[in-house]
Structure 1
Amino acid sequence: MSSATSNAALSERSRRAVWHPCTQMKRHEREPLLPIVRADGVWLIDAEGRRYLDGVSSWWVNLFGHGHAGIGAALKDQIDRLDHVMLAGLTHEPVIELSERLEALTGLGHAFYGSDGASATEIALKMSAHGWRNLGQPQKCEFVGLAGGYHGETVGALSVTDIPIFREAYAPLLRLSAALPAPDARGAHAGEDGAAVARRAAVALELYLEQHHHRTAALIVEPLVQCAAGFAMHHPEYLRMARALCTRYQVHLICDEIAVGFGRTGSLFAHQQAGIRPDFICLSKGLTGGSLPLSAVLTTDAVYDSFYDDRTARGFLHSHSYTGNPLACRAALAVLDVFEQEPVFERNQATAQRLNDLVAPLAGHPSVRHARQLGMLWAYDIQTDDPSFSARYHQAALERGLLLRPIGNTLYFMPPYVMDEPAMQQLADGALRALQAVLPA
């Protein structure tokens, strides 16, 4: 290995040349960046050959492991046919087929494509407000979300994101939405279950819409799990009640499935566990299995019809150069093929059952509160006053061959779906040993 490609050399080159996302760069004067040069299945491999289990699916995008053969074959085939073409006035088979298949899976169609989750949020918000304008209700241009909600970091997406550090930093740029009580099951009162918490939160939504529906375009929710809020999980009853209230008060319901879609919660899409159909679905992350950037927004015939006109000004005024890129669409089609051709949910259920057994000692650690699991998601609130817990735990996990990044005091796992027994053992044992190192008894 050349000294120019060692971990230390690559880390320093990156620190000097690259502005890393959502990162205080000064931190990396004392905590070197970790260069990854290869990946295989659930494993990331650094420049010096050390392996790390990707316990967060590389920021929640990887489904079937790094270097998946089917996705790779699809990309190799597609790049020899058509790498990219503009989607304004032209079209291509991968984007057509992907749109058809997503409609068949969700009951929503008219797919509009972006590059990432925040783009999908922007598209859905603009589409909702513009749709109401086209229907003669331009006053319906405000939005409502949930406390702790996260929907991306572009300006429009931050307006419906309720994460204090973002709202404080960029408040002058934002048209802040209302943030209503979340149905977080951890907030249960004595004698309440998750369904009761959901109903209580829905009452707050009802009171708000009763007063403000005439100027509210849409409610945006992360169905079942608010990931950036510390993996706050809620009962499907909230989605059922929210759907009924949005219908009653003529407000669009946007389901942000960016993080929780494609099997993470135990169903293909999380909102399906409530038996509802939203007005918009936002997709990204797992859409391409972690291979290429792509997002999609699906909507109803009614929304689409509100734009269908001879006048350009009534059309949806949004675009970017790589909309519906053929390579990304082929990757997404390969992901859907895996879901169709393999027993993904049966395997995931078996994996979850086995990992639940293995993490029992972690769940029983005296500092753990609210151990919870849904589908292929696990979360544990850690009782500590240490403001550096997340950074210290992350480093301790790396030392034990795990990539884990707690959100505040919440430790979580969101691994790829392809862990074998040794990988599950390493995840469970390493996560516990890292916690014991950071918070010794």
Structure 2
Amino acid sequence: MSNQDWLRRSFDAVWHPCTQMKRHERLPIVPIARGEGAWLIDFDGNRYLDGVSSWWVNLFGHGHPRIRQAIRDQLDQLEHVMLAGFTHRPVVELSERLAKLSGLGHAFYGSDGASATEIALKMSFHYWKNSGQPGKTRFISLENSYHGETVGALAVTDVPLFSSTYADLLKPGLRAPSPDARLAAPGESAADAALRAARSLENLLAKHCDQIAAVIVEPLVQGAAGMAMHDPVYLTELRRLCDQYQVHLIADEIAVGFGRAGSFFAYQQAGITPDFLCLSKGITGGFLPLSCVLTRDAVYQAFYHDDVARGFLHSHSYTGNALACAAALAVLDIFEDEDVLAANRVKAEEWTRKMQPLIARGDVRHFRHRGMIWAFDVETERSDFALAYFSAMLKRGCLLRPIGKTVYFMPPYTLNNEEMDGLVRASLEALDEVQSSGQSGQGEETPLP
């Protein structure tokens, strides 16, 4: 069947995520038949360079043979068994390896990033209850933070488009100023801006620490905020403050873990260890849904008791799925065997040079880079910029999905120099097209990631 056939059937049957479906009356859904490396291919044979790793999940390209083979091998042994009262080889080995990499202990599994956030929030809340401090029930998150769209995760998400509709369902938390380097005052460095934000956070903790269970943060890069990047000193100060005021530090590395920010885990660049680490997205290389929360042994021990009610009774039917864990183990093997982090550093330096024509544009502001993430803000009068730019890039065979007026690149690590050249060239052409044409009449833009 053709693209048009699948487009019609999808529009009639599928409710797509993060989407106002009425927009697809004008902006067609893109039907994808298969993926090969950094490319997505539709049913008519058109190819699209996946510049955002299919929502930040695909680390090593679509259909990577090593991950695919690991899933096939596991399929011949065990596809799934419930993890309540049972265990299996892939989940044990994955938990051991993640513990060694993170410096944290027991791993608790879910199926997606929002689930990981829920798990960490509930664990922290329940830890303080088990530890005789039931008044510590609130959470601090950063301005413009995004931690998922389930009810608990929305309570610590500061994107009104997602959260305001459900305000009556959410437990109110506290917001601390973002350490976003773009907020630096004249004469301030990124580190100065981060330290100023940390001082504001300290004021919150000093006033409310008896009520606070945890501070949750996206280390180094706030993704849905428009790839807002901050200096690692903020995390160093955050760790000190959490220790001083006896609250947990939750590191949401759902988007920035597994090398995205340059180190295996982003928090490592600050020389700290969080109390909870949330992982998902790249954990299986984009093959299967999986999320994980790792925590300190002291937290685990607070639940270890004869009283069943003191246990952590949260559950998902597919917790620790064997196929997903096998994929994750293959991802870790690739990192180790191919020295991915070192190779990425070389690529990042070269690719940043290739972006100089973008950096030099008069309408580009706040070009920024961390690890394998690049972003810049576009000065434009177009309220529909994101949709217009997304459409202009699709015409050029590229998938980029701006967040408001922020364009970002988060490609698979296997992208080659020629492909990056094409992505940059298309980006420049699309900017020229969008900036020179008038408003498309599609209405005010929304900051969808």
| TM-score computed with the length of structure 2 as normaliser | 0.96
Aligned to 2:412: 416
Which amino acid is 1:332 matched to? A
Aligned to 2:113: 117
Q: In the aligned structure 2, how far is the partner of 1:191 from the partner of 1:422?
A: 38
Deviation per residue, 1:169-217 (Å, 9 max, x gap): 1111111311110100001111110111111001011110001000100
Aligned to 2:312: 316
Equivalent positions of 1:80-229 (< 5 A) are 80-229=76-225
Q: In the aligned structure 2, how far is the partner of 1:80 from the partner of 1:167?
A: 43
Aligned to 1:240: 236
Aligned-residue offset at 1:279: 0.2
1:68 to 56, 64, 69: 64
SS in 1 for 2:81: coil
Aligned-residue offset at 1:436: 0.8
Aligned to 2:342: 346
Q: In the aligned structure 2, how far is the partner of 1:171 from the partner of 1:384?
A: 32
Q: Does 1:266 align with 2:259?
A: no
Aligned to 1:433: 429
Deviation per residue, 1:405-441 (Å, 9 max, x gap): 0000000000000111220111110011111110139
Give yes or no for contact 1:8–1:32 (8 Å, CA) kept in 2. no
Q: In the aligned structure 1, how far is the partner of 2:15 from the partner of 2:105?
A: 37
SS in 2 for 1:425: helix
Q: Does 1:378 align with 2:374?
A: yes
Deviation per residue, 1:317-356 (Å, 9 max, x gap): 2001000000000000000000110021222122212211
Which amino acid is 2:304 matched to? Y
Q: In the aligned structure 2, how far is the partner of 1:47 from the partner of 1:179?
A: 46
SS in 2 for 1:229: coil
Aligned-residue offset at 1:386: 1.3
Which amino acid is 2:203 matched to? L
Q: In the aligned structure 1, how far is the partner of 2:277 from the partner of 2:390?
A: 32
Q: In the aligned structure 2, how far is the partner of 1:409 from the partner of 1:42?
A: 24
Q: In the aligned structure 2, how far is the partner of 1:420 from the partner of 1:335?
A: 19
Which amino acid is 1:370 matched to? H
Q: In the aligned structure 1, how far is the partner of 2:41 from the partner of 2:418?
A: 17
Q: In the aligned structure 1, how far is the partner of 2:417 from the partner of 2:293?
A: 37
Q: Percent identity?
A: 62
Give yes or no for contact 1:218–1:251 (8 Å, CA) kept in 2. yes
Which amino acid is 2:49 matched to? L
Give yes or no for contact 1:45–1:51 (8 Å, CA) kept in 2. yes
Which amino acid is 1:105 matched to? L
Give yes or no for contact 1:351–1:419 (8 Å, CA) kept in 2. no
SS in 1 for 2:391: helix
SS in 1 for 2:394: helix
Which amino acid is 1:94 matched to? P
Which amino acid is 2:40 matched to? L
Q: In the aligned structure 2, how far is the partner of 1:346 from the partner of 1:99?
A: 24
Aligned to 1:285: 281
Q: Does 1:327 align with 2:320?
A: no
Aligned-residue offset at 1:403: 0.2
**Number of equivalent positions:** 437
Report runs of 4+ in structure 1 exceeding 2 Å deviation: none
Aligned to 1:301: 297
SS in 2 for 1:418: coil
Q: Does 1:361 align with 2:357?
A: yes
Q: In the aligned structure 2, how far is the partner of 1:337 from the partner of 1:265?
A: 19
Q: In the aligned structure 1, how far is the partner of 2:197 from the partner of 2:4?
A: 50
Q: In the aligned structure 2, how far is the partner of 1:42 from the partner of 1:223?
A: 26
Q: In the aligned structure 2, how far is the partner of 1:173 from the partner of 1:385?
A: 36
Give yes or no for contact 1:155–1:174 (8 Å, CA) kept in 2. yes
Q: In the aligned structure 2, how far is the partner of 1:73 from the partner of 1:310?
A: 42
Q: In the aligned structure 1, how far is the partner of 2:163 from the partner of 2:31?
A: 31
2:43 to 29, 44, 47: 47
Q: Does 1:394 align with 2:394?
A: no
Q: In the aligned structure 1, how far is the partner of 2:350 from the partner of 2:203?
A: 43
Unaligned runs of 5+ residues in structure 2 are 438-449
Q: In the aligned structure 1, how far is the partner of 2:164 from the partner of 2:187?
A: 36
Q: In the aligned structure 2, how far is the partner of 1:59 from the partner of 1:167?
A: 20
Q: In the aligned structure 2, how far is the partner of 1:31 from the partner of 1:193?
A: 41
Deviation per residue, 1:198-238 (Å, 9 max, x gap): 11001011110001000100000000000100000000000
SS in 2 for 1:89: coil
Which amino acid is 1:281 matched to? L
Aligned-residue offset at 1:164: 1.3
Q: In the aligned structure 1, how far is the partner of 2:124 from the partner of 2:303?
A: 11
| TM-score computed with the length of structure 1 as normaliser | 0.98
Give yes or no for contact 1:78–1:330 (8 Å, CA) kept in 2. yes
Which amino acid is 1:198 matched to? A
Which amino acid is 2:399 matched to? L
RMSD: 0.8
